[in-house]
Chain A
Amino acid sequence: MNTAVMPREHYLNVNYGITSWLLTTDHKRIALLYLASITLLFFVGGAAAVLMRLELLTPQGDLVQSETYNQLFTMHGVIMIFFFLIPSIPAVLGNFLVPLMLGARDLAFPRLNLLSWYIFILGALFTLTAVVTGGVDTGWTFYTPYSSTYANTHVILTALGIFITGFSSILTGLNFIVTIHTMRAPGLTWFRLPLFIWGLYATSLIMVLGTPVLAIAIVLVALERAFRIGIFDPALGGDPVLFQHLFWFYSHPAVYIMILPAMGVISELITCFARKRIFGYNFIAFSSVAIAVLGFFVWGHHMFVSSQSVYASMVFSFMSMLVAIPSAIKVFNWTATLYKGSIAYETPMLYVFGFLGLFTIGGLTGLFLATLAVDVHVHDTYFVIAHFHYIMVGGAIMGYLGGLHFWWPKITGRMYPEGWGKLAALVIFVGFNLTFFPQFVLGYLGMPRRYHFYPAEFQVLHVMSSAGASILGVGYIIPLVYFIWSLRYGAVAGPNPWGAKGLEWQTSAPPPTDNFTQTPTVTEEAYAYGSQEVHVG
């Protein structure tokens, strides 16, 4: 039944050898360089999480000392956020797909694209060196004056790693913005663009506008540590809270860097597997931009208890609530897209359902935290941890994995094993909820974050969470194994195994180095499903 054959020449076999990869300017190969690097870093960051959950099995701090525990959660946060989540969908799927979806031969600045990968690797090396040579214990937030004055760990080295990596993210965002503006195929107007592109466009805006502020905040911390210039040191007349402002000015929008691309992926997947046009295209497109813009005006909700004026807190609380509107618009439109759709429950679609449920929980608990009085009660507790893991893991990683499965046949030309795929999706969903739902309860009951011991009455919930984490870990290893397996043994996919719309499916799989043998011309709206029935399988 499967008669698909691999194309004779494609971007993977056009030339061989290590330099053909390390010096490539092909956006598809750079995407794979990113895929390999962030997968490695994901498992490093995951290892830190494993040790933390092992420690938290018992109320006593018996497995690791508190200093080690501090270094573990710092390493977990730094690596997962700056070296996995932020580059994940943009640098891997975005790099691969943006030119393909636009009908272009490459990104606007191919050499800059390669440079951004090298910058990323350099930043990662700095950070990993800091981890190996003794770690850093400030938390991923680097709050002053602890980070600038008191911490005796490798703050400068880690901060430098994050500073450097920031430029990789800026260059990627810049490349996407310019490419989307100037390199769309004939007929591909803004409102015919795939919503994944809209999501990445909004993401790129944040990367370009937010990242430099974090960079400068980090430079100031390093200067403060190195020269004691006094900017963040109250003993020298400085204001440590200024750091929090600068830090969250980037780091709250950074959450949207992680979630907006995932939302873009969901829009692609849900239309394909419901065989329907997306419901409310314009609303979904503009809600991405709205989230990106609003995201710059909500940073103060991290500082409700940090001596911020109560009036500022009220404004920030209100602005944070507003973010719920574009987020809900998306969820409602996706749900409406499913209505009377002809739904196929393939693996990517399972991740979509996972995303919808988990993102909704994560989003709604975000409203609890945006509420001033409630936040005072649950601030810096496991409630916050659970909330942002529902967004970042339940949302962003679900979207990333869904997208990776969906476009895997395009990237490699081969299918992953569907049965294993479904199993892994299920294991991840169960493991995730078992890990993080108890943490909502823990936080509500008063368990503070960043402690490696706790009162005995919390043990049951902590054991549930640790058990869930081990299931989750298995769930992440299964795809790693079968993706690698499929490179050799997977069924040949053919150019469009899902019968999906979109320019990326019109070229062969894997695509040729120049993406298209003939520049495509776009004559229809995005997601023109139903205009011509295609069936999966």
Chain B
Amino acid sequence: MVRRRSTLAERPAALAHHFDDMAQQYEASHLGMWVFLLTEIMFFGGLFTGYAVYRSTYAVAFAEGSHHLDIVLGSINTAVLISSSLTMALSVHAAQVGRRQLLVGFLLLTMLLGLVFLGIKTVEYVHKFEQHLVPGGAFRYEGPYARQVQIFMAFYFSMTGLHALHMIIGIGVLTVLVWLAWRDRFSPTYFAPIEVAGLYWHFVDIVWIFLFPLLYLIGRH
């Protein structure tokens, strides 16, 4: 690969000092996010492994635990999150064609949907708390599988909790992007941050696509 070394005079403002040209910077930011997502896959992978082990050991108890989750709220949240991925993809497109107001609008809409998701999640958590289904000292459960259901709930909370943490970080990132987009920092030649944030957002969405059936839909054929 032969790269052209741009002189100082013709360097675009968005080009960091240590890159040669925009193409190299674009490639680096994208690869960086993909590698980060690999890390994230392994991060969630540890929990999915633990889930798989206990689900195969305590299949009945996991199905029982799953029935205590609110399938309506879970389904609504799935729809909300998928919609947010659509608006995220649309904001990437708006950035590529240089429509600033559209970009800001779609980013705000994505954030809003993310907040709706977190709000519904909070309602679900509160319900579990009221029903004494939060693992730990306050956990109350009648039945022969009480301990195993507690393990199911532990996975429910740690997996959806980690996912929610990623949503919160994602909303934080989007806030910064809205601010930058508002100040017209992006252009059809420089929109990598939007795309890279989009990759992250879609990843968090996909994690939920796995979490929803694994946690909510056990034994409901």
| A interface residue numbers (CB < 8 A to B) | 99, 104-110, 170, 174-175, 177-179, 181-183, 186, 208-213, 215-217, 219-220, 223, 227-231, 236-239, 242, 245-246, 249, 514, 519
- Kindly state the separation between the CA atoms of A109 and B150 in the bound complex, as whole angstroms: 43
Known contacts A239-B53, A519-B5, A178 near B151 by CB under 8 Å: no
Known contacts A174-B39, A212-B43, A231 near B32 by CB under 8 Å: no
Interface residues of B in 10-45 (CB under 8 A from A): 16-20, 24, 27-28, 31-32, 35-36, 38-40, 42-45
- Kindly state the separation between the CA atoms of A107 and B43 in the bound complex, as whole angstroms: 25
- Kindly state the separation between the CA atoms of A366 and B194 in the bound complex, as whole angstroms: 48
Number of B residues with CB within 8 Å of any CB on chain A: 41
Residue contact A209 to B42, C-beta cutoff 8 Å: yes
Residue contact A230 to B151, C-beta cutoff 8 Å: yes
Residue contact B42 to A212, C-beta cutoff 8 Å: yes
Known contacts A220-B50, A231-B154, A212 near B135 by CB under 8 Å: no
Residue contact B36 to A182, C-beta cutoff 8 Å: no
Flag whether B75 is at the interface (Cβ < 8 A): no
Known contacts A182-B27, A223-B158, A177 near B18 by CB under 8 Å: no
Complex: chain A residue closest to B34, CB-CB: A178
Interface residues of B in 129-150 (CB under 8 A from A): 135-137, 147-148, 150
Known contacts A227-B136, A229-B135, A237-B151, A216 near B43 by CB under 8 Å: yes
Residue contact A216 to B39, C-beta cutoff 8 Å: no
- Mask, B148-166, CB within 8 Å of A = 1, is 1011001100100000000
Complex: chain B residue closest to A245, CB-CB: B49
Residue contact B136 to A231, C-beta cutoff 8 Å: no
Query: Could you say which of A208, A217, A230, A238 contacts B35, with CB atoms under 8 Å apart?
Result: A208
- Kindly state the separation between the CA atoms of A174 and B42 in the bound complex, as whole angstroms: 14
- Kindly state the separation between the CA atoms of A161 and B151 in the bound complex, as whole angstroms: 26
Residue contact B158 to A220, C-beta cutoff 8 Å: yes
User: Sorted from nearest, which 8 A-B pairs have the closest CB atoms?
Assistant: A216-B46, A212-B43, A227-B136, A229-B154, A106-B18, A229-B135, A237-B147, A105-B18
Sample of 12 A–B contacts (CB below 8 Å): A109-B32, A178-B31, A183-B18, A209-B38, A209-B42, A217-B46, A227-B137, A228-B136, A229-B150, A238-B151, A242-B50, A519-B20
Residue contact A182 to B31, C-beta cutoff 8 Å: yes
Known contacts A109-B32, A219-B158, A231 near B151 by CB under 8 Å: yes
Residue contact A230 to B42, C-beta cutoff 8 Å: no
Complex: chain B residue closest to A109, CB-CB: B32
Residue contact A209 to B39, C-beta cutoff 8 Å: yes
Complex: chain B residue closest to A187, CB-CB: B2
- Kindly state the separation between the CA atoms of A178 and B150 in the bound complex, as whole angstroms: 42
- B contact residues around A209 at 8 Å (CB): 38-39, 42
- B contact residues around A109 at 8 Å (CB): 28, 32
- Kindly state the separation between the CA atoms of A179 and B20 in the bound complex, as whole angstroms: 13
- B contact residues around A237 at 8 Å (CB): 58, 147-148, 150-151
Interface residues of B in 33-79 (CB under 8 A from A): 35-36, 38-40, 42-47, 49-50, 53-54, 57-58
Complex: chain A residue closest to B58, CB-CB: A237
Given contacts A227-B135, A227-B137, 4 further A-B contacts (CB under 8 A): A108-B32, A208-B39, A211-B39, A514-B17
Residue contact B151 to A236, C-beta cutoff 8 Å: yes
- B contact residues around A175 at 8 Å (CB): 32
Tell me the dominant secondary structure on chain B's binding face. helix
Residue contact B151 to A246, C-beta cutoff 8 Å: no
Residue contact B3 to A186, C-beta cutoff 8 Å: yes
Known contacts A236-B147, A236-B150, A239-B53, A186 near B2 by CB under 8 Å: yes
- A contact residues around B46 at 8 Å (CB): 212-213, 215-217, 220, 246, 249
- B contact residues around A174 at 8 Å (CB): 32, 35-36, 39
Shortest CB–CB separation between residue B151 and chain A, in angstroms? Answer: 5
Interface residues of B in 178-217 (CB under 8 A from A): none
Residue contact B32 to A178, C-beta cutoff 8 Å: yes
Known contacts A237-B148, A242-B50, A213 near B42 by CB under 8 Å: yes
Residue contact A216 to B151, C-beta cutoff 8 Å: no
Residue contact B5 to A104, C-beta cutoff 8 Å: no
- A contact residues around B50 at 8 Å (CB): 220, 231, 242, 246
- B contact residues around A107 at 8 Å (CB): 18
- B contact residues around A217 at 8 Å (CB): 46
Q: Which of B46, B136, B147 has the most CB of A within 10 A?
A: B46
- A contact residues around B57 at 8 Å (CB): 239
Complex: chain A residue closest to B45, CB-CB: A213
- Kindly state the separation between the CA atoms of A237 and B24 in the bound complex, as whole angstroms: 52
- Kindly state the separation between the CA atoms of A514 and B16 in the bound complex, as whole angstroms: 13
Residue contact B49 to A246, C-beta cutoff 8 Å: yes
- A contact residues around B36 at 8 Å (CB): 174
Complex: chain B residue closest to A223, CB-CB: B158
Complex: chain B residue closest to A204, CB-CB: B35
Known contacts A213-B45, A223-B154, A170 near B39 by CB under 8 Å: yes
Query: Could you say which of B1, B38, B137 contacts A228, with CB atoms under 8 Å apart?
Result: B137
Known contacts A174-B32, A223-B158, A231-B154, A208 near B18 by CB under 8 Å: no
Shortest CB–CB separation between residue B18 and chain A, in angstroms? Answer: 4
Residue contact A178 to B28, C-beta cutoff 8 Å: yes
- Kindly state the separation between the CA atoms of A186 and B21 in the bound complex, as whole angstroms: 13
Complex: chain B residue closest to A513, CB-CB: B17
- Kindly state the separation between the CA atoms of A181 and B24 in the bound complex, as whole angstroms: 10
- B contact residues around A170 at 8 Å (CB): 39
- A contact residues around B135 at 8 Å (CB): 227-230
- A contact residues around B39 at 8 Å (CB): 170, 174, 208-209, 211-212
Residue contact A108 to B28, C-beta cutoff 8 Å: yes
Residue contact B158 to A177, C-beta cutoff 8 Å: no
- Kindly state the separation between the CA atoms of A213 and B48 in the bound complex, as whole angstroms: 11
Query: Could you say which of A215, A220, A228 contacts B43, with CB atoms under 8 Å apart?
Result: A215
- Kindly state the separation between the CA atoms of A210 and B45 in the bound complex, as whole angstroms: 11
Shortest CB–CB separation between residue B89 and chain A, in angstroms? Answer: 24
Complex: chain B residue closest to A170, CB-CB: B39
- Kindly state the separation between the CA atoms of A217 and B154 in the bound complex, as whole angstroms: 14
Residue contact A210 to B42, C-beta cutoff 8 Å: yes
- Kindly state the separation between the CA atoms of A170 and B39 in the bound complex, as whole angstroms: 8
Shortest CB–CB separation between residue B142 and chain A, in angstroms? Answer: 16
Shortest CB–CB separation between residue B75 and chain A, in angstroms? Answer: 27
Complex: chain B residue closest to A184, CB-CB: B1
- Kindly state the separation between the CA atoms of A109 and B36 in the bound complex, as whole angstroms: 13
